[in-house]
Every structure is written in structure tokens, then in C-alpha cells.
Amino acid sequence: MTAEHGTPVSLSTASPDDPHMQPLARNPQRTERLIALAMFVGILGIVGFGVAYWYNANGWVYGVTLGGGITLLGFGITAWGKYLMPKGPFVEERHELRGTDEEREVFAAAVVQRGGGILGRRKLLAGMAGLGLAAFGVVAAFPLIRSLGPLPKKTLDETDWTKGSYLVDSTGRPVQVGDLAVGGIVTVFPKGYEDTENGQAVDQTVLIRLATTDYTTRPGRETWGPAGYVAYSKLCTHLGCPVGLYEQQLEKLVCPCHQSMFDVTNGAEPDFGPAPRPLPQLPIYVDGRGYLRAQGGYEEPVGPGFWERS
Amino acid sequence: MTLSLTRRLVLPVLVIVTVALSMLVLFAGGSSGASEQAQVISSTVTAAQQHTTPPAAYQTTRANAGTANSTNTVYVNGKLVAYGNSDITYVNPPSSLIPLGEALYAQNCASCHGNSADGVPANGTPGAFPNLRGLGSATIDFWIESGRMPAKDTTQVQALRKQQVLSKPEALAIAAYVTSLSPATPYIPVVHNISSANTSEGFSLFALNCAACHTITGGGDALASNTYAPSLRHIPATQVAEAIRTGPGNMPRFTGNLSDAQVRDIVAYVTLNIQHPVNPGGFGLGGLGPVAEGFVGLALGVGILALIAFWIGDRS
């Protein structure tokens, strides 16, 4: 950037021999030829796109020909402007933006006096417009008020698991005591709810086999783990993600969202991560025909905490 | 003037080229390269658990779910040699391989798993050197054919998937020998007619049972306690089926909750769809989703736009 070039001048007063009027290119003929070459190749590309389209070529051919063609043309036009036009920089002074006093008075008279008079002449329509806006304001508040209710009542505390519910997999097949090997896991639902929205949202439960004999995960839950099967809610107590990652050797369930880890041998007590509470355990039993069934529903709400529950 | 322009362009062009090249190296061709090397695999069962769990713990009573309780069974000299159905056939290696397997076992396995294959108490690495009895030939075959066994470094939490140390016939021989010590299933699965399986059903089952750990693109992901779920790229159909049926390492064992037909659907989805992803953009960026894509979009897209603006404009 030389000093004489860097100072802006007015284009209208610049003489043809002014350095600002010279192109940026040192050798304009050569630059012109180069730019022409680039544009020519670009034109070939665009024509090539037509040919490719005619012959129904692969997608990438369209991209290369049309994209390349337009890019080269654009390059040529930009380079033309940059290297061959007068290099400048130029400035042009703006005219006075403020109107004259006379113009301003005429405008004010037109808007305030004449316009006001015309509007005031139609009091009925002005009133209608005002009423319409007021009605709209009231109606617009409805969705806001509606979103405050109804109260969820007991729906947050209960699931579809009831006494005697069969544990079925996602296809509706009831799980039998011999199905899982030790180290196996299956996501189960209460029979009849495996395809329902609520079933998939809140009833989903992981059934894990920890051993071949009855398994007690906590004092007081001696009958909850028949034949080594334990069942926990699949909803993370942190934010409700499905806790589907089971590490069978570590005997831990991991939540994919925030890496909470639950110890399935110890009532799904969280031993890492942000989950505040253990996963609720579903008490189950094996019926006379070998099917796994629920002793009852969950004893505590499943999923993350809500306002009545810290 | 032109010279100084060129000079001013050198640095930004270098930066963009470097970023673009590192993107290609990092993401081109999925996660097979770099991430696979950095991964380490495992065996973290407590030794006691492996020693005391009876063979029946690994079995299911459901028919056609990987055990002898199948549509067809083949006995030779009173011994079960194969079973299965039109979806998957489970075959034990021929007993003629047992003497070779015994010799290979003594050379390659006995130092860690014990002379009688009933395990050695782990010293330091939890779950190392487990009892191999009662596991079935599919388990033995999987660990050897995937190159994880013989393990290179027994102090690692998870054995590394690597180039096979033992050949396929050698793996079969060792599987034949170990299984003969304490007969158990599952045998080595042969998945039939993969190309005609129901990959749509396979996708659903994959999403429900596998994607939690291996991710929906099969790229694998980190798990707890320095373990990880490995990538499913470049895994042969037999090993996919073996892993599902035997639950290697920390992977759950899928027995009675998946029928052989369902396992076949999953194997088809993994080997046909997941292992051959359609990437309309050219590069899958490791199948990592919007984070990787956004990063490339910003770095390359905005970077190139910035360079163009830099070229068109002029300093004043």
C-alpha cells in the first residue's frame, strides 16, 4: 500500500493520469488473459454441466461442472473488478440529508392537520379497529392461561404396572424364567402397554439377570429378585433418559446422557454422575407357569424429580 | 503489489489447508483407523464370579435361541455336534482337532488360564484369566478370531482387538479342545442367507438392544470405568453373532430374549447397512453427527468465505 494510493480521492475530480485511476495489475494485458482463461474454463464447466445433464451422469459430475463453472466465472468477474478497474480508493461526499425548513413544514402540515382530520371523520371504523385489537389481546392470553393446567394429579406417581402384570418385551412376548442367561438384559413393559405412548414413555423397565438364585438388592426386598432377575425403571432419575447401557461384568447401568452409573446389585444406587436417587426397583415374581410378573407397581415415582419431590 | 498480496495470502491458505487435511485424516473412512488403535478392551468380571457360576447360568430354555433346544440337532457318537435352524446353525469344531487344540492351548493359553482351563485368580487386573470351562466353543472362537486372545497386555482393563495371532484353524482347534473339557453351548454360529434377512426388523432390534452402547451408527463409544463399546465396522458376521450370543467382556449376553431369526436380522443390519453406510456428502465424519458436521461446516465453510472476503476486499 503506497502513500499516494492509500489516500482516497473523489472519482469525479480525478484526472485520467491520477495514480488512483490506474489498475492494480502491473501487467494488465497478462492479467486480462489469465482472467479470460479462468472465465473460459468456467464456461466450459457450465456447458459441461449441460452435457452431463443430457447424458444423465453421476451426481458428482453435476457438482464439479456447475459448481466449478460458476466458481471460475465468479472468480473472473471479481478479479476483473479487483485488478483491472481503477484501483482507487475513491470517496464521494453525501448531499445534505436534512430537508429544508420549508419542506419540513409542508410535510408536518400534511400529516398532522390534514391526516388527523381525515382519520377523525371515521369514528366508527377507528373504534372497530381499537375493539379488534383489544379482543385479540384478551384471546392471545388464552394459551398462556391454558398452559397452567390441568394439574397432573397422580399421573406422575403412577405407571401402568399393577399386581400380576406380565413382563413382556417390545414385541409383546412374555418373558419366562428360563429366557435370560446370567449377564442378560431385556427392556420390558407391562403386558398390553408395550405399544402405547405411555407404556414406552414411563413404563419401560430393564430386566437384568444377575444370578440363577434369588437376588436381594436391599434389605426389605428379599422377594423382589426371583431366580436372580431384578427389574428397574429405565428412566434416569436425573433427566429421564433411557438408562440402557448395561455393563454385565461391572454390573452397572450407565445413563448415556450424563454418565450416571447405577449399581444394580445394590438397589441401583447411583455411584457416579448427577442422578440424585436410585432407579426405582419393580418387585417381581415367577408365577406357576414360569412367567415373570409384577408383584405390584413401583413404590415411588419413576423418572426425574418434580416440584413435589426434591 | 501482486507480490505483497500473495504474501498476505500465504498464512491463511496454510491454516485452511492444514485444517482441511487434519479433518480428512481424522474423519475420512469412518472411525476404523485412529479410534480403533486407541481403544482397549476387556474382562472385568470378578474372578470368583467366573469360578463359581455354573454352566447353566449361560443358557436359556427358549427354543431356537442359540442352545441345543433347536429345530434340528445332530449327534455323532452320542455327542451333540451341531444344532440350529434355517436362520442360524451352530456347529462345534470336529473332535479330530482336539489333539492339535490341546497342544496349541498349552502353548498359547495355559500360562494365564491354567493347565485345566479353569482360570487363575486374577492378580491386579480384575477379571483377568477367567475360567473357560462351560463357555461353549463360540466364546473361545470369538476371543481368538477377533485377535483379542492371546492378550498382548494382561494389565489392560479391556483386551485389544488386533490382528489375529492364531489362524482360523488354530482358533477352531483350541475351541474344540476347551469345549471338550466341559461340553457346553453355544457352538460357533453360521448365519444363513444374510442378504435375504429382514434388515428393517434388524434395525429396530439394533436400536433397542445394541445402539445404547455401540451408538446408532455402530461407531462404538466410551462406557464406565475405562471400558468402551468397540466399533462394529469390519466385524465379520460370525463374530457379530458370537458376540450377541456369548456377551464378551462387559457386553450383555443375549440369549432367550432374541430368537435366532432376530439375531440373523441384527447381523444382516450390522454387516449390510451399518458397515456400508451411505454418505451422500462423501465423508461420514465418523458418524458422530451434528457436532462433527457443524465443526467441519464452520471451519471449512466459514473459513473459506472469510478468505474470499479477505481477497475481494482491500485494506484502507
Q: Tell me what pLDDT residue A235 has.
A: 94
Return the residue of A nearest to B315 by Cα: A1
Same domain, A273 and A179: yes
Picking from A91, A111, A137, the residue at the C-terminal end of a domain is A91
State whether residue B304 sits within 8 Å of chain A by CB: no
**Could you tell me if residue A78 is inside a domain?**
yes
A245 & A183 share domain: yes
Would you say B177 and B105 are in contact if contact means Cβ atoms under 8 Å apart?
yes
Identify the pLDDT of residue B4: 65
Dump pLDDT digits (tens) for B267-294: 999 999 888 888 776 777 777 778 888 8
The total domain count for chain A is 3
Complex ipTM: 0.73
A74–B contact, CB cutoff 8 A = no
Give the Cα separation of A201 and A37 in Å (integer): 63
Q: Which domain holds residue A188?
A: 167-294
Encode pLDDT of B179-232 as tens digits.
988 888 889 999 999 999 999 999 999 999 999 899 888 888 888 888 889 999
A183 lies in some domain: yes
Q: B62, A178: Cβ pair inside 8 Å?
A: yes
Burial class (CB in 10 A: 0-12, 13-18, 19+), A224: buried
Partner-chain contact A180 B213, CB within 8 Å: no
CATH architecture for segment(s) B36-274: Orthogonal Bundle (1.10)
Is the minimum CB–CB distance between A184 and chain B shorter than 8 Å? Answer: yes
Instruction: Give every CB contact of residue A66 below 8 A, 6+ residues apart in sequence.
Output: A45, A46, A49
Q: Does residue A266 sit in helix, strand or coil?
A: helix
B312 → closest Cβ in A78, A208, A245: A78
Q: Which residue has the higher pLDDT, A226 or B313?
A: A226
Decide if pLDDT at B314 tops 60.
Answer: yes
Determine, for residues A181 and B58 on separate chains, whether the beta-carbon distance falls below 8 Å. yes
Residue B51 has pLDDT above 70, yes or no: no
Residue B10: its pLDDT value, please? 74
A51-55, A65-69, A185-189, B8-12: segment of lowest average pLDDT: B8-12
CB atoms within 10 A of CB A21: 16
Q: What is the CATH number of the domain that holds A247?
A: 2.102.10.10
Report pLDDT for B272. Answer: 92
Which residues of B fall within a CB distance of 8 Å from A256? 212
pLDDT category of residue B164 using cuts at 50, 70 and 90:
confident
Mean pLDDT, chain B, rounded, equals 81
Measured distance between the N- and C-terminal CA atoms of chain B, rounded to whole angstroms:
15
Cell of A186: 431385556
| Domain ranges (residues) in chain B | 2-29+283-312, 36-274
Note the pTM of the prediction, 2 decimals.
0.70
Q: Is A161 part of any domain?
A: no
Residue B48 is predicted with a pLDDT of: 34
Query: Nearest CB to A249: which of B249, B314, B316?
Result: B249
Same domain, A79 and A107: no
